[in-house]
Amino acid sequence: MSPIHGMRPPAPVEFPSTAGPLRPGAGGPSFKTIMAQTVEKVNGLQKNAQATALRFLQGEPVEVHQVALEQQQASMAFDLLVEVRNKMVSAYQEVMRMPL
């Protein structure tokens, strides 16, 4: 009798954290680097989700819930990224509006 394989638990999305007081020029990754890394991670999640969905359509023995979970993960990560970007843009705009 073949062993029952459990589902892979969904991998948590880790956004790199920069805990600690902000010190100008104190080293550590710049925001640009963090954003780039996060975009890469989200892109990776989306590519995985697409690949799994395609394999399901092609008739390979992929479970529907696997497809569903990966799609949702990728979607949530993407939405989170977009929100973060929007917040950054509006913060920038607010700073630009400040009278000198």
Q: Catalog residues that contact another protein under the rule CB under 8 A.
A: 2, 50, 53-54, 56-59, 61-65, 67-69, 71-72, 75, 78-79, 82, 85-86, 89
Between 36 and 89, CB nearer to another protein: 89
Between 34 and 67, CB nearer to another protein: 67
Task: List the one residue out of 63, 50, 59 whose CA is nearest residue 5.
Answer: 63
Helix (H) or strand (E) holding 14: none
Between 17 and 58, CB nearer to another protein: 58
